[in-house]
Structure 1
Amino acid sequence: MKRQLRLGVLASGRGSNLQAIVNACEAGQINAVVAIVISDVAEAYALERGRRYGIEAAFIDSTRHRTRNDFDAAVLDLLRKRDVELVCLAGYMRLLSPSFVEAYKNRIMNIHPALLPAFPGLHVQRKALQYGLKFSGCTVHFVDEGVDTGPIIIQAVVPVLDNDTEEDLSARILAYEHRIYPRAIQLFAEGRLEIRGRRVLCHGTDTPQQQEKQAWGAINP
């Protein structure tokens, strides 16, 4: 069996995407192991999720660090000591400093509940409804120094229904997040992703039909 990729998951909330990653690791869908879960919120349920699976779970108190760089340095120290190779953001509500992004350049992923580059940032389901979109979705992308501006790996399309509330749409999108995030991680673990400028190419998808399925996570409705 190939050596397992070592993941570090950063989360600020309940950690449902962390759960999806752990489930996929345990099911053999990802050749990886979550080495550590780190949160900037002491009561984040993501930490409890990690502990339930015997994963080290660490809270780092931002009030004990004077600057964002100082805080990120503490996070980086833990990641490096656990030999983390890929950092996965799962509802992490802090912007990463340029020094953090550089330390793990092209080795940080994020999941965003919209079809980037549309609607970066927060409250994206509200914006989708306000704009009257017929389709929304979610995006896994590499992280750069901007806000949800990094190269796109996989997207999934989710319909917006006429009677949707923010909560309805969020829940429908979340189900797809839990499917495409593990897939993106496995592609990384297999060494199949190549970044060329703003494009992420997936090697091993030879035909246009295979490329189309890969780009959309093979799950678009």
Structure 2
Amino acid sequence: MSLRVAILISGGGSNMVTLADSMTGDHPGRPCLVLSNRPEAGGLAKAEARGIPTAVVDHRNYGKDRKAFEGEVQAALEGARADVICLAGFMRVLTAEFVTRWQGRMLNIHPSLLPKYKGLDTHARALAAGDAEGGCSVHLVTPELDDGPVLGQTRVEITADDTPESLAARVLVAEHELYPAVLRQFCMDFRHL
């Protein structure tokens, strides 16, 4: 029996697409829901085109009431009977209460070689530090931002003429290879627990 994978997005959904498209054949997971906190997220149409159910929980409707927002997200996940969550460019910080509920079953892709450069502006920070390489990490989500156990990383060389944008573009290519591979292994391991 396949694990049901919910993918949370806020934008165009390029990582969501690579995850969804990888879950075929003998893959132990199947996409059950793509949820966005932004109704205008381009990834919603891409999910619908693939026959994946979608949901929108617009965070702007909840003001500062994160608990109410997350309650609606949780209801959508329960409705989809999700086993695993993949955060794929989901630009909301989740509360410790929500994360704890999904502990050990929620993955995130982050555009740096964690534990370096948690949070935003990772590529600009790597360039400013004079790093020889950037990259991406897939990690388990814990209540501390970008701090969970790293399940996989890909390194990307930084060139002398790199800008944050050029580095981001190359790291995104690496993300599209790393995240599906880590998800497959995670689902295989999860099924055997």
Give the TM-score range, shorter chain: over 0.9
Q: Does 1:149 align with 2:147?
A: yes
> Structure 1 segments of 4 or more deviating over 4 A?
none
Q: Does 1:115 align with 2:113?
A: yes
Supply the AA of the counterpart residue of 1:166.
Answer: P
CA contact (8 A) 1:8 1:88 kept: yes
Supply the AA of the counterpart residue of 2:22.
Answer: A
Q: Shift in Å at residue 192 of structure 1?
A: 6.2
From 53, 57, 60, give the equivalent of 1:60: 57
With CA pairs under 8 Å and 6+ residues apart, which has the higher RCO, 1 or 2? 2
Supply the AA of the counterpart residue of 2:42.
Answer: Y
The answer for unaligned runs of 5 or more in structure 1 is 195-221
The correspondence of residues 57-206 of structure 1 with structure 2, limited to 5 A, is 57-65=54-62, 67-191=65-189
| Equivalence for 1:25 | 23
| Equivalence for 1:214 | none
The answer for unaligned runs of 5 or more in structure 2 is none
Q: Percent sequence identity over matched residues?
A: 35
**Which has the higher Rg, Structure 1 or Structure 2?**
1
d(CA) in 2 for partners of 1:64 and 1:123?
27
| Equivalence for 1:35 | 32
d(CA) in 2 for partners of 1:35 and 1:61?
19
Supply the AA of the counterpart residue of 1:14.
Answer: G
CA contact (8 A) 1:5 1:86 kept: yes
Match of 1:140, SS state, is: strand
CA contact (8 A) 1:30 1:183 kept: no
Q: Shift in Å at residue 167 of structure 1?
A: 1.3
Q: Does 1:51 align with 2:56?
A: no
Q: Shift in Å at residue 29 of structure 1?
A: 6.5
Supply the AA of the counterpart residue of 1:148.
Answer: D
Q: Shift in Å at residue 34 of structure 1?
A: 0.8
Match of 2:184, SS state, is: helix
Q: Deviation digits for residues 5-52 of structure 1, max 9, x if unmatched?
A: 1101110011110011011113x3732111011111110011111111
Supply the AA of the counterpart residue of 1:128.
Answer: A
How does the TM-score come out when normalised to structure 1? 0.83
d(CA) in 1 for partners of 2:26 and 2:167?
27
d(CA) in 2 for partners of 1:193 and 1:5?
8
Q: 1:78 to 1:129 in 2, by over 3 A?
A: same
How many residues in Structure 1 have an aligned counterpart in Structure 2? 192
How does the TM-score come out when normalised to structure 2? 0.94
**C-alpha RMSD of matched pairs (Å):** 1.8
Q: Shift in Å at residue 141 of structure 1?
A: 0.1
| Equivalence for 1:202 | none
